[in-house]
Structure 1
Amino acid sequence: MSQIFAQFWRLMKLCLAGPGGKWSIALFAIIVALDLGGVYATILIVGWTGAFYGALEAMDGAEAVRQVGIFGMIVAGNSARHLIGQLMRKRLEMLWRGRLTSGALDIWLSNKAYWHMANATFAHWGDTSKGPKGYAVDNPDQRIADDCRIFITSLLGEVLDMISRIVGLFSYIALLWSLTNFPLSLAPIGINIEIPNYMIWAAFVYVALASLLTHALGYPLKGLVVEQQRREANFRFALARLRSSFDEVAMSNGERAERGVFDTRFDAIVSNWKKLVNRELILGCFTYPFNHSVLRIPLFVALPGYLAGHVAFGGLMQLSTAFSSVVTSLSWFIFSYRDLAELVAASSRLDNFLEAAKAAGATGSGIVHDTTTGPVLSLRGVRVTTPETRPLLDVPAMDIHQGEAIWLRGASGLGKTTLMKALAGLWPHGAGTISSPDASMAFLPQRPYFPIGTVRDALAYPRAAGDYSVEALDMALEKVGLGHIAGIEFGRSDTRTGHGLSGGEQQRLALARLLLLQPQWALLDEPASALDQAAEAELFAMLRRELPETAFIIVAHRQPQGLGEVRTIDLGSAAISAPSILPQRPDTVPA
């Protein structure tokens, strides 16, 4: 239980963080006050019940009509209170959801935690025995989009309901105590005992037994709800993955294989759903009759007092209403058990995800990165390994000067791309020191990423298209041979990268970003693999003209053409030497 409250508190701190946090607390207090107005309305209804049925018993038509009018005013006032409270609650719900979502995104994106979690760097979080207590971290999109919504909606609903029930409970008990000023005699069944205010004790005993039985029957629900959410998310992910790769699947005739994946994941949904439904059925075998008898049981409990002549018919109905209010308030746990299970499941998933993201963002690195003021990128004693510490490649010493064109050559699987990730500060596995100049750097990965939006949005990424003039954007596209697509509005919200461009067009668009960024250092991983040598030479020659002072560090299977003199560094050598003060110009630096 303490762990659940700790999770709630950590999540609520995100909701209350930032400007306006105190205002949201004030708004919550107003909503609570409006909810408590419902307790007052219930007390008025209890009093009205005694007066109305008393008038009916006395055959007082005028008083009965007057009580109908009073009933209408109570209902009208209570309805206005409820509607205003609901409106304010919805506003607070979206405010807190926005804060929680923003906080979750900050944690997920901070220090590239999303990258560490998605890569082998943080693969152990999939095993709950190695990560924090809770459930495997999967489907971050669902955690942020769905679990944030479920947590805020359920929390507000259950907390407000619980507060009004607790406050109402004291009011209803005080009222019931004043109405049940007569004892229950057990003499008719041969026991010479009288129980004072017996209806109070009956309410507590009745609900306590019912609550214990509800928890015993419904305890497995939390785990089943969590598992159902996970399997639903896995199925959605499989569908989205096909949507983002439909060309590759269609050309491979992979429909049957994809259908197999869909069927397997949907079968997993059905399998857990059956367990969930069976457990809900077991719980419902008790809660459904309880919910539909809770308003009638009070009448039966109050009946001995009426039959003994302690109360009149109007008093009997008043007692029944007051007892129902007490039992209903005490039964909050029973009525809300299914919703509480979903709330606890969502909070566990979300909190575990955020804690894992914080830990991922704090992932240390065996490779030391520092910044220098000189125009040289230096590697000293760099060893790049896999997450399991299997060696990939060693770079004892390597210096790259600004303005050079470098080709990093090596066999497939050697770790060239991993070295580029290490240069970018991403890959933490290994040892050694990388000293980078205090200058602008641009990294282009093997697979260019294009955001949702227009061609100009994709060109300006990671900055906004509005940071550049339309003329500058269109000129960059023209220089890489994409002037004909400058005005295209994709308007698509799917996850397909490239927006339908060919592989060569995607690479041209990615290289065009360098014209806008004007970096002093450009690290390119297979930047022209989809282009022929003539097109590659033309593009690189243009980039060298436009960026004469830029150092190009390129990983490729063939020597780059068009950049002028290119120094080749063979990463497959047993040792990699560094040039002295000035860059060496031979085609290959020997091992």
Structure 2
Amino acid sequence: MIGLDAIDAVTTLFSFAVVLWNIGGVFSFDWHGHHFHIPGYLFLGAVITTLTASGILERFGSPLIGANYRQQHFDADLRAGLMDIRRNSEQIAFYGGEDAEHLRLSGYLTHIATNWRSVVRYTWRVNFIAEIYTGIATVPLWLMLAPKAMAHALTFGLYSQINSAYTQVRISLEWFIFNYADMATLRSVLQRLGEFERTVSQQPETGIERFASEIPSVQIRDLTLCLPDTKPIARIGNLTLESGERWLLRGPSGSGKSTFLRALAGLWRHGSGAVSFNMRQAMFLPQRSYVPSGTLRQALSYPATPDRYETLSCQRVLEAVNLAGYSHRLDEIADWGDVLSPGEQQRLAVARALLFRPAILFLDEATSALDEDNERRLYEALLSALPGTTFISVAHRDALCRFHDHEIVLGDGNAVFSVLEK
């Protein structure tokens, strides 16, 4: 709507600017012995007057842009807080954290209310200036026509024509003034979108490089993991994971195990070195599985479309991961992230891997929520169904050693490679 009004204002301005220029005549005067002629002085006066008023409005009304920007920020904080509570309502209830959450949300609401008062104050200031200008907008025209009136060169008919043309030109030029509040909101939105676009379009920082490869092995060259402040976490060095090998990644908490997998996935760029593998045939199973809402078939097939796998295949993998009880509910719509327990969600993630049949499978404590029997059952299913797949598992339990033939131990900033004894 603002854009259409702007087009209409520009069209009206060009139409009546010519009329006002022609009928306004020339303003002539002498100054220190020099004679001056200003053609179209009424049009120029309207432009100068409006630009002056617009400058004053921008000077005193520009804080409205920042206030609108902050309002969007505080509104977003409140929405994010409410979503966080909804997502973690059960954990909050177990902790009895209602008072803490009430305090946190009250803080968000206080920020919104405080800033809203600023928005109202600056909006009132903008409207006050606009109304003052509207009240005195015809005064400059009377001042500019005073010489003609005193020279008895201003007839009633000429004044009517000049006033009509001047009013149309002034209204067209006042588009910025009367749309300033809406423009301030739009400018604040564009500012946030601009920041978002700059963040998204930023070139990846130099660091760990990833290269796509068609070979089945995972190649790691001179890999060093660092924190964002360049402090080293672990040095992996050179390593080749051949097709079909099963590697167990172990080490104390904070030694860089999950960071190592994030670096392989391209989610961690802090450090140096390079990794290459067949990324199209690789699959990552995080500790906390993502389960989208919709049908169970959609959740099981994710990230592929639900029509990619046959019903019989879906039922078989559910049975393999001890979720046979859900086989008849494949087309049932539900919020499966709430229906399934954490352990069931991890079993569902393994079922996805059995469907996808990746050449390389990364498991970041993907069975940590399971008991030993279910964990053993899942690894046996994976090894049986995917004998040629390369496995890299992050785990703490010694029971998983028997399902792997190599080990990487992270500690003291270095990686130690060894062959596991069966």
TM-score by length of 2: 0.84
Q: Does 1:171 align with 2:10?
A: no
CA contact (8 A) 2:248 2:404 kept: no
SS class of match (2:339):
coil
CA contact (8 A) 2:9 2:175 kept: yes
Q: Does 1:551 align with 2:390?
A: yes
Determine the C-alpha separation between the residues in 1 that align with 2:214 and 2:11. Answer: 66
Q: 1:569 to 1:578 in 2, by over 3 A?
A: closer
| Residue number in structure 2 paired with 1:513 | 352
Determine the C-alpha separation between the residues in 2 that align with 1:513 and 1:428. Answer: 27
Q: Deviations over 1:408-445 (max 9, x none)?
A: 12111111111111222332222344343677211111
SS class of match (2:411):
coil
Aligned sequence identity (%): 33
Determine the C-alpha separation between the residues in 1 that align with 2:135 and 2:297. Answer: 61
Alignment of 1:167-316 (within 5 A): 167-177=11-21, 200=43, 203-291=46-134, 310-312=154-156
CA contact (8 A) 1:540 1:563 kept: no
| Residue number in structure 2 paired with 1:341 | 184
Q: How large is the RMSD of aligned CA atoms in angstroms? A: 3.6
Alignment of 1:405-420 (within 5 A): 405-420=246-261
Determine the C-alpha separation between the residues in 1 that align with 2:388 and 2:27. Answer: 98
Determine the C-alpha separation between the residues in 1 that align with 2:278 and 2:48. Answer: 75
SS class of match (1:552):
strand
For structure 2, the 5+ residue unaligned runs are 29-36
Alignment of 1:416-435 (within 5 A): 416-435=257-276
**Which one-letter code corresponds to 2:258 in the other structure?**
T
Q: Does 1:586 align with 2:421?
A: yes
Q: 1:309 to 1:430 in 2, by over 3 A?
A: closer
Deviation at 1:481, TM superposition (A): 2.6
| Residue number in structure 1 paired with 2:286 | 445
Determine the C-alpha separation between the residues in 2 that align with 1:570 and 1:533. Answer: 22
Q: Deviations over 1:86-120 (max 9, x none)?
A: xxxxxxxxxxxxxxxxxxxxxxxxxxxxxxxxxxx
CA contact (8 A) 1:397 1:576 kept: no
- Structure with the higher fraction of residues in strand conformation: 2
**Which one-letter code corresponds to 1:518 in the other structure?**
R
TM-score by length of 1: 0.62
SS class of match (2:190):
helix
| Residue number in structure 2 paired with 1:523 | 362
SS class of match (2:201):
helix
Determine the C-alpha separation between the residues in 1 that align with 2:18 and 2:272. Answer: 71
CA contact (8 A) 2:234 2:414 kept: no
Q: Deviations over 1:67-101 (max 9, x none)?
A: xxxxxxxxxxxxxxxxxxxxxxxxxxxxxxxxxxx
Q: 1:315 to 1:468 in 2, by over 3 A?
A: farther
Determine the C-alpha separation between the residues in 1 that align with 2:391 and 2:285. Answer: 11
SS class of match (1:515):
helix
| Residue number in structure 2 paired with 1:502 | 341
Q: Deviations over 1:453-485 (max 9, x none)?
A: 222111111111122223323332232232333
Determine the C-alpha separation between the residues in 1 that align with 2:5 and 2:84. Answer: 41
| Residue number in structure 2 paired with 1:464 | 305
SS class of match (1:472):
helix
**Which one-letter code corresponds to 2:164 in the other structure?**
T
**Which one-letter code corresponds to 1:418 in the other structure?**
T
Determine the C-alpha separation between the residues in 1 that align with 2:273 and 2:43. Answer: 74
CA contact (8 A) 1:299 1:316 kept: no
SS class of match (1:450):
coil
SS class of match (2:367):
coil
Alignment of 1:395-406 (within 5 A): 395-406=236-247
SS class of match (1:321):
helix
| Residue number in structure 1 paired with 2:195 | 352
CA contact (8 A) 2:211 2:276 kept: yes
**Which one-letter code corresponds to 1:534 in the other structure?**
D
**Which one-letter code corresponds to 2:319 in the other structure?**
E
Alignment of 1:538-577 (within 5 A): 538-561=377-400, 564=403, 566-572=405-411, 576=415
CA contact (8 A) 2:49 2:140 kept: no
Deviation at 1:383, TM superposition (A): 2.3
Determine the C-alpha separation between the residues in 2 that align with 1:288 and 1:441. Answer: 65
Q: Deviations over 1:497-532 (max 9, x none)?
A: 824311111101111111111012111011111111
For structure 1, the 5+ residue unaligned runs are 1-152, 185-193
**Which one-letter code corresponds to 1:259 in the other structure?**
H
Q: 1:200 to 1:470 in 2, by over 3 A?
A: same
**Which one-letter code corresponds to 2:115 in the other structure?**
N
CA contact (8 A) 1:404 1:566 kept: yes
| Residue number in structure 2 paired with 1:50 | none
SS class of match (2:398):
coil
Determine the C-alpha separation between the residues in 2 that align with 1:182 and 1:567. Answer: 94
Q: 1:200 to 1:407 in 2, by over 3 A?
A: closer
Q: Which moved more, 1:551-560 or 1:525-534?
A: 551-560
SS class of match (2:120):
helix
CA contact (8 A) 2:222 2:273 kept: yes
Q: 1:500 to 1:363 in 2, by over 3 A?
A: farther
Alignment of 1:12-411 (within 5 A): 157-158=2-3, 160-177=4-21, 200=43, 203-291=46-134, 310-312=154-156, 319-359=162-202, 361-365=203-207, 367-370=208-211, 375-411=216-252
SS class of match (1:382):
strand
Determine the C-alpha separation between the residues in 2 that align with 1:475 and 1:517. Answer: 13
